[in-house]
Amino acid sequence: MPELPEVETVVRTLETLMVGCSFTDALVHTPSIVYHNEDFASFVAHHQLQSFKRRGKYILLGLGDNTLIIHLRMEGRFFINHEFNRPNKHVHVSFKLSDGRVLHYQDTRKFGRMLITHDVNQTLAHLGLEYDDPHFTVDYLIESMKNKKTSLKAFLLSQSVICGLGNIYSDEVCFRSRLHPEKRVSTLTLNEVQSIHREIKLVLSEAIALGGSSIRTYTNAMGIDGLFQLQLQVHMRAKQPCLVCGQIIEKTSVANRGTYVCKQCQKL
């Protein structure tokens, strides 16, 4: 958390709030958040925000010839006020905007990271396809799964194949596909791969439309919660009846992640 839908929502919100603005200064309160932080303020200052994009779970802010890459990790979030000083101990970077407002990056766990790069493609070369990339096809999934002994959930979590899926949406994709998350991808049938492909696109599109899932501390940059958590069919529903068959949903561990499964609907 946040995953692709939450990051996409944050990017859209930041664009709405800051389109046409420039960064005029920056304060790094916690140096470990920013790679090469000694030059950070000079890199971002006096550059207009030219683009607001997302790649996987990364926020990409275009600043002239450079791009500011931001990964929110577990608890990262943004908010805006008019005070350039540090508003609380969990704010780690503050950006002064050309209209006098200040964009603050807050992260209670300090896992998030920021980086200035000249070459986004090289920096993020490890990422796989986006869910809406025209090259993300059933054939692409089949080829990516070939000869792999990994579980379905581990495959979905691998950012090198499909980027942006995390724990929430991989659980939902597995459930909607009626496939157990421990099932080996090398054993999947064509119909099962087609179902996975379809549900990845549907689940992520629906979650984006609802502003993502507010399960812990996630809000967009306007402080507004997402609503997709109200549509979750299996994730975070341990000990509750399955919405399809009534079987009690169990929480287990797959790929070292807490995983929610209905063992009636999702048989190995």
pLDDT tens string 162-188: 999 999 999 999 999 999 999 999 999
| Catalytic residue (choose from 113, 184, 201, 257) | 257
Query: Quick check: is 3 catalytic?
Result: yes
112 and 79 part of one domain:
yes
Residue with tokens 């802010």: 61
115 and 36 part of one domain:
yes
Query: Quick check: is 181 catalytic?
Result: no
Give me the number of domains the chain comprises.
2
> If we measure between CA atoms, which residue out of 104, 61, 105 comes closest to residue 82?
104
Q: In the prediction, which pLDDT does 36 show?
A: 78
Question: With the CA atoms of 261, 265, 266 and 268 taken in that order, what torsion angle do they form, in degrees rounded to the nearest 10?
Answer: 130
Task: Indicate whether 86 pLDDT > 80.
Answer: yes
Query: Model pTM?
Result: 0.95
The overall average pLDDT reported for the chain is: 96
Task: Indicate whether 69 pLDDT > 90.
Answer: yes
Query: Quick check: is 2 catalytic?
Result: yes
Contact between 265 and 180 (Cβ < 8 Å): no
Residue 167: in which H helix or E strand, if any? helix 167-176
105 and 208 part of one domain:
no
User: Would you give the DSSP letter of residue 12?
Assistant: H
Encoding tokens for residue 132?
């809406």
153 and 217 part of one domain:
yes
Tell whether 133 is covered by a domain: no
3-class SS at 206?
A: helix
In the chain, the amino acid numbered 44 is: V
* Boundaries of domain holding 215: 138-261
Contact between 216 and 108 (Cβ < 8 Å): no
Boundary residue ending a domain (97, 123, 149): 123
Residue with tokens 């796989």: 128
Spatial separation of the C-alpha atoms in residues 165 and 12, rounded to whole Å: 18
| Catalytic residue (choose from 54, 57, 183, 237) | 57
Counting residues of the chain whose pLDDT is more than 70, the rounded percentage is 100
pLDDT tens for 202-258 read: 999 999 999 999 987 788 888 899 999 999 999 999 999 999 999 999 999 999 999
- In Å, the largest CA–CA distance within the chain is 58
Backbone angles phi, psi at 96, to 5 degrees: -85, 130
111 and 172 part of one domain:
no
Of 13-22, 30-39, 109-118, 220-229, which gets the smallest average pLDDT?
Answer: 30-39
Query: Quick check: is 31 catalytic?
Result: no
Task: Indicate whether 37 pLDDT > 90.
Answer: no
The domain that holds 13 is classified in CATH as: 3.20.190.10
